[in-house]
Amino acid sequence: MASYSYDNVSELFGVELKDKQKEILDAILLKQHTVAILPTGYGKSLPYQMYIPVMKDRQNETSTEEIQKVVVCCPLVALMQDQVNRLQGVAGLRVEYKGNSPEGDEKIKAGDVDIIFASPESLVGDPKWRSILQNLNVGLLVVDEFHTIATWGGDEIDEEEAVFRKWFRHVGEFRSLHPSATVLALSATCTKTIKKRVMKVLGLNINDTKFVTVSPDKPNIKLCARKIDQDIASAMYWLVSAANFSNSVLPKILIYCKSIAEVANIYFYLHSEFDNKNVIEMFHSETTVEKKKYIIDELSKSDSETKVIVATSALGMGIDIKSCHSVIMYGPPSNVVDLVQELGRVGRDGQQSCATVLFNCRQLRHVDKDVKLFLENNDCRRRNILAHFLDESDLLNLAISHDCCDICETKCNCGKCKKGELENLLEIEECVECEDALEGEDKESGSETDVNYDEFSDDDCYVLFDNINI
């Protein structure tokens, strides 16, 4: 087969390939199973997107041999929509995702699609589609955001009925339908523990698998955490003030919540208080397809009218978010993988950015010990969170400065520390009850105790908007 030129394929996609992208592309063309862990915004999807054009370029013009297809196991519809929309502009590349339209599904069935996107529920959970995909000539199986196998599919000991999406733990079964297909597993965040679990689920042998990794450290993103007051109005008044009374332009801000109900509560409060209603939108799994498309389009613009997006994790993975340097996590994510995922959705252009966790004691009930340690920590937050992803030698080489996190800033005496846009907007009175709960101090005895967060009622630390029809 003929060789290919990086320049030719880069020109087709209008990008310049990075060394790690070339490494991944070379590996899958050599049919080598590959696990790639690259930071959010790095462009880890490009190698598999370029696979088909390169294979076509290699093929002899007189050959009638069918180019093998690429099947991408994708966790979110929004991510599939974003990828398909972008790839439809690439000449000679046929892409579709299962469920996009009846016409698109028929094209997949007929074998008239080069890159097929589908959820785990379709790939292995739907007997009809499982059979259809088994009859296709698949050469490359891509598992995008593979950490969701563990974070959404649960641990091996968990009952299937109790996990978020049980078919994620069965993604490896698709390999039995196409045993000769090459596997490419992609993620921006993977702890050492999750990597072992995913390798087992996908049936990958460490000796036969190529690993391509880049540190998940994002030195341009400052990490902050602040305790907030009991109700939404008190916790978010700073944003209302910035939107209505500030002379400066409101920066683009992502606000991530842990549930649709929380998204609705915050959205309706902010929407009711903002003078300009057009600057705010909300995004979750039940948002209409048309509205999702509008929001994704707005996020892809550097100068969009929409400035504040209140969302669940349904918004984010792999979506191209332009000129956004501020993210709020309203309530800490339940684990460090989700935490790194959400903070990594800003600052993709390399400019100084800020990721801030806003939390109260009620929201600490259902987070794991690693996230609690991140919040309790009195040392560098960046070093604390990266300890789950990096070896000790890599941790020692981390560059720590006042831009690292809010804790490092308080310890800095350079006199040149500057706060970013988000930090300047944030003026929050800390919740005394949350401070006691987080630090676990017995005020009377002065000794440390284990605090049971369930002892706090919802009325103690949180006020919900009632009777909202989501």
CA distance 112 to 23: 29
Which amino acid would we find at residue 294? Answer: Y
Q: Is the pLDDT of residue 168 over 60?
A: yes
Rg (CA), the chain: 23
pLDDT per residue as tens digits for the range 4-40: 677 788 888 888 889 999 999 999 999 999 999 987 7
Q: What CA–CA distance (Å, rounded) separates 412 from 404?
A: 11
**Alpha-carbon gap, residue 253 to 332, rounded angstroms:** 17
10 Å Cβ neighbour count for 119? 22
The pair of structure tokens assigned to 304 is 């969009």
Average pLDDT over residues 319-333: 87
Among 376, 307, 367, 303, which Cα is nearest to 338's? 367
The alpha helices in 249-344, defined as continuous H runs, are 260-273, 289-299, 336-343
Tens-place pLDDT, residues 257-270: 989 999 999 999 99
Q: What is the pLDDT of residues 52-91, one digit of tens each?
A: 988 887 776 555 677 899 999 888 787 888 888 888 888 8
C-alpha pair distances (Å), 152 with each of 148, 169, 236 = 5, 8, 30
Torsion angle of C-alpha atoms 74, 75, 79, 81, degrees rounded to 10: 70
Q: Establish whether domains 6-213 and 221-461 are of one fold.
A: yes
Residue keyed to tokens 């699609």: 113
The DSSP 8-state label assigned to residue 346 in this structure reads S
pLDDT at residue 231 in the model? 87
Closest CA to 48 of 139, 179, 121: 139
3-state DSSP helix/strand/coil percent for the chain, to nearest 5?
A: 40, 15, 45
Place 438 in a pLDDT band, splitting at 50, 70 and 90. Answer: low
Are 382 and 406 spatial neighbours (Cβ–Cβ below 8 Å)?
no
When mean pLDDT is compared across 251-260, 290-299, 314-323, the lowest value belongs to: 314-323
Residues forming beta bridges with residue 56, ordered by sequence position: none
Q: What is the pLDDT of residues 388-424, one digit of tens each?
A: 888 777 787 777 777 889 999 888 887 777 788 888 8
Predicted pLDDT of residue 22: 93
- Residue 452 is predicted with a pLDDT of 43
Beta pairing partners, 213: 37
Residue 306 region by backbone torsions, left for phi larger than 0, else alpha for psi between -120 and 50, else beta: beta
The answer as to CATH 3.40.50.300 being correct for domain 221-461 is yes
Nearest to 352 by CA among 385, 324, 382: 324
Q: Residue 364 in contact with residue 291, Cβ under 8 Å?
A: no
Tell me the mean pLDDT in the region 142-159: 70
pLDDT level of residue 432 (50, 70, 90 thresholds): very low
332 CB-side CA count, 13 A? 29
Domain 6-213, CATH homologous superfamily name and number: P-loop containing nucleotide triphosphate hydrolases (3.40.50.300)
Query: What is the rounded CA–CA span in Å between residue 95 and residue 176?
Result: 24
User: Where do the structural domains in the chain lie, given as residue ranges?
Assistant: 6-213, 221-461
Average pLDDT over residues 308-321: 80
pTM of the predicted structure, to 2 decimals: 0.67
The C-alpha atoms of residue 29 and residue 85 are separated, in whole angstroms, by 25
Helix (H) or strand (E) holding 197: helix 192-201
Q: What is the DSSP string of 153-185?
A: T--TTS-GGGSS-GGGGGTTHHHHHSTTSEEEE
